[in-house]
C-alpha cells in the first residue's frame, strides 16, 4: 500500500539544519549580503523585525505588477484576481496557525489585534446595556468587580490595551508575577486567576527572556475560571509550530514583519462563536451589509473586523512567508534556533561582568538572549557591536515593568533566526567579550 506523505511526515524526513544549509538559506535574503562599517553584516535583530526572502519580495511585487486592484465587489478581471489572491492568503495563514478561514482576521500588526479585542469587549458592554446585538454579549461584557489578568513579563502591546480596558469598564487589572530568574510563578498564577477573571492575556514566548511559557497550563487555569484566553504569539509563530486549536486559546495575535513578511500586516485569530457576536472595532466601508442614515448592520467575521481598504499585497506576501517557513520546517527551525540560543547563553555567561536574563544555559528558550554589561549602558554596547557589523536591539524592548522587576532600565538583545549561523553567534560573543575593556568599565 502506498504511503501518503503529509506535511508532518515530510518535515520529519528532512535532515536537521546545520551551518551548510543555513548558508544556502542566506542566499534567499539579499539584505544579508552587505558590509556594515566595513564588516560582513551579522543580523541579530530578528526579534524586532526579520528580513525578507526573495520569494516574499517577489510575491508582493508580482501582485502589484499583475493584479493590483481593490478587493471584494469589483466586477472586472483584476478585482476578481486580487480578491482571489487576498482570500487565498487568508486560507494559507489559517492553515499555518491551525485556525478556520472565518476565524482569521487581517490587522496592521499584533498591537492592532490586541486593541481590537479590548475595544470589542468594551463595546460589548455598551451594546448589551442598550439591548443591541446577541444575548451572549452580556456574558462578554466587563463590569466593576471583574478582573483582567496579564503577566509581569508582557510586551507593552499586551499590557496597555488591558490597562485601558480596565479603565473603561471599571474592571481590575492583575498580573502573574515572575521570579528572580524571569519565570512565571505558577503557584501565584493559581491564586491570581480566579472566579472573577474575565480575561487572561499572556505571551507565548517572551521577547526579553526567551522563555516559552506553559500555555496549556495557563489556559487550563483560565478555562477553570471561565475566562477568555488571549495569546500573544508574536515571538512564537515565526519560530515554532503553532496550532491555536490545540493550544485551546480564544484569541491569538501575530505580526508579519517578525516572520519574514513586510511590515503593515498582522493576524488576529478568534473563535468563530465569539467573533460572530462581538461588536466591531473599526467601522466604515467593506464591513457592512445595510446602511441607512440612522444605523448600519455589519457583516459576519472576518469582514466584520476589516473596515476600509485592506492590506492586500502585504497579506499575499505574508502567505508567501508562511509557505517559506512551512517548506523549511518549523520544527527544524525551532531546533536550530534553540541551539543558537543555547550557544549565546553559554558564551555570554562565560564573559565576566555580563548578566543574562531568562533561563540559564541548558534550559529551554527561543533563539534570543537579552543581557546587561556591568558598567556599560546598553546603547553603548549596541553602538560598539554595530561598529563591528553586528545588529542587535537595545533599550527596554517595550517591557519596562519586566526590566524594572529585574532591577534594570535597559538591556542589549541578540535574536537569531533561520538565516543565522553558529559563526554569527561566535562573532557576536567575541565582540561582547571586548566591550568592558573598550569602555574601561
Task: Report which DSSP code applies to 421.
Answer: -
CA distance 340 to 350: 16
Residue 9 confidence (pLDDT): 41
Cis peptide, bond prior to residue 302, ω within 30 of zero: yes
What's the predicted TM-score (pTM) here? 0.95
CA distance 193 to 214: 15
Residue 73 confidence (pLDDT): 81
User: Burial, 370: exposed, middle or buried (Cβ in 10 Å; 0-12, 13-18, 19+)?
Assistant: buried
Q: One of 398, 401, 405, 408 is an active-site residue; which one?
A: 398
Residue 166 confidence (pLDDT): 98
Residue 5 confidence (pLDDT): 35
Cell reading at 274: 465569539
Of 205, 258, 240, which Cα lies nearest the Cα of 399? 205
Residue 3 confidence (pLDDT): 34
Instruction: Summarize pLDDT for 159-209 with one digit per residue, the tens.
Output: 999 999 999 999 999 999 999 999 999 999 999 999 999 999 999 999 999
How many Cβ atoms sit within 10 Å of the Cβ of residue 181? 13
How many Cβ atoms sit within 10 Å of the Cβ of residue 421? 20
CA distance 251 to 103: 9
Residue 236 confidence (pLDDT): 98
Question: Coil, strand or helix: which one is 351?
Answer: coil
For residue 212, what are the β-bridge partners?
205
Cell reading at 219: 489556559
Residue 134 confidence (pLDDT): 84
Does the annotation count 234 as an active-site position? no
Is the Cα torsion angle 357, 359, 362, 367 positive or negative in sign? negative
Question: Coil, strand or helix: which one is 102?
Answer: helix
CA distance 412 to 348: 12
CA distance 432 to 438: 10
Residue 13 confidence (pLDDT): 61
Residue segments in the chain with a per-residue pLDDT below the cut of 50: 1-11
Instruction: Summarize pLDDT for 251-263 with one digit per residue, the tens.
Output: 999 999 999 999 9
**Domains of the chain, first to last:** 7-53+329-438 (3.90.1150.10), 67-326 (3.40.640.10)
Q: For residues 277, 279, 285 and 288, what is the CA-based torsion angle, rounded to 10 degrees?
A: 40
Supply the mean pLDDT for the chain.
95
- Cell 503593515 belongs to residue: 264
Residue 220 confidence (pLDDT): 98
Contact 268, 280 (CB under 8 A): no
Contact 369, 414 (CB under 8 A): yes
Question: Coil, strand or helix: which one is 75?
Answer: coil
Amino acid at each position: 500500500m502506498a504511503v501518503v506523505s503529509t506535511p508532518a511526515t515530510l518535515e520529519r524526513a528532512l535532515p536537521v539544519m546545520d551551518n551548510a544549509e543555513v548558508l544556502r538559506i542566506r542566499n534567499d535574503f539579499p539584505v544579508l549580503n552587505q558590509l556594515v562599517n566595513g564588516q560582513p553584516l551579522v543580523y541579530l535583530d530578528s526579534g524586532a523585525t526579520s528580513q525578507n526572502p526573495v520569494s516574499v519580495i517577489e510575491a508582493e511585487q508580482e501582485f502589484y505588477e499583475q493584479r493590483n486592484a481593490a478587493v471584494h465587489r469589483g466586477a472586472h478581471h483584476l478585482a476578481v484576481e486580487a480578491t482571489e489572491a487576498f482570500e487565498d492568503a487568508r486560507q494559507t495563514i489559517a492553515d499555518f496557525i491551525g485556525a478556520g478561514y472565518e476565524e482569521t482576521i487581517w490587522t496592521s500588526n499584533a498591537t492592532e489585534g490586541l486593541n481590537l479585542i479590548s475595544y470589542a469587549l468594551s463595546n460589548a458592554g455598551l451594546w448589551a446595556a442598550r439591548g443591541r446585538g446577541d444575548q451572549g454579549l452580556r456574558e462578554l461584557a466587563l463590569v466593576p468587580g471583574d478582573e483582567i489578568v496579564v503577566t509581569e513579563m508582557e510586551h507593552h502591546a499586551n499590557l496597555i490595551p488591558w490597562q485601558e480596558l480596565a479603565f473603561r469598564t471599571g474592571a481590575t487589572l492583575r498580573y502573574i508575577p515572575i521570579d528572580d530568574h524571569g519565570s512565571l510563578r505558577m503557584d501565584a498564577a493559581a491564586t491570581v486567576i480566579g472566579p472573577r477573571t474575565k480575561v487572561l492575556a499572556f505571551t507565548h514566548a517572551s521577547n526579553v527572556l526567551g522563555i516559552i511559557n506553559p500555555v496549556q497550563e495557563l489556559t487550563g487555569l483560565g478555562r477553570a475560571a471561565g475566562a477568555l484566553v488571549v495569546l500573544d504569539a508574536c515571538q512564537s509563530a515565526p519560530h515554532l509550530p503553532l496550532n491555536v486549536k490545540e493550544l485551546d486559546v480564544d484569541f491569538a495575535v501575530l505580526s508579519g514583519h517578525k516572520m519574514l513578511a513586510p511590515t503593515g500586516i498582522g493576524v488576529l485569530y478568534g473563535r468563530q462563536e465569539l467573533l460572530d457576536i462581538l461588536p466591531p472595532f473599526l467601522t466604515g466601508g467593506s464591513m457592512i451589509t445595510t446602511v441607512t442614515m440612522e444605523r448600519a448592520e455589519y457583516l459576519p467575521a472576518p469582514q466584520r473586523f476589516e473596515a476600509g481598504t485592506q492590506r492586500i499585497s502585504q497579506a499575499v506576501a505574508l502567505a508567501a512567508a508562511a509557505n517559506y517557513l512551512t517548506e523549511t520546517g518549523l520544527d527544524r527551525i525551532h531546533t536550530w534556533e534553540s541551539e543558537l540560543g543555547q550557544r549565546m547563553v553559554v558564551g555570554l555567561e562565560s564573559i565576566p561582568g555580563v548578566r543574562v536574563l531568562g533561563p540559564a544555559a541548558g534550559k529551554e528558550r527561543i533563539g534570543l538572549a537579552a543581557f546587561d554589561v556591568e558598567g556599560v549602558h546598553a546603547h553603548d554596547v549596541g553602538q560598539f557591536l554595530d561598529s563591528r557589523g553586528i545588529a542587535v536591539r537595545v533599550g527596554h524592548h517595550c517591557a519596562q515593568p519586566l526590566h524594572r522587576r529585574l532591577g534594570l532600565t535597559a538591556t542589549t538583545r541578540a535574536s537569531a533566526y533561520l538565516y543565522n549561523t553558529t559563526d554569527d553567534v561566535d562573532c557576536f560573543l567575541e565582540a561582547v567579550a571586548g566591550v568592558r575593556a573598550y569602555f574601561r568599565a
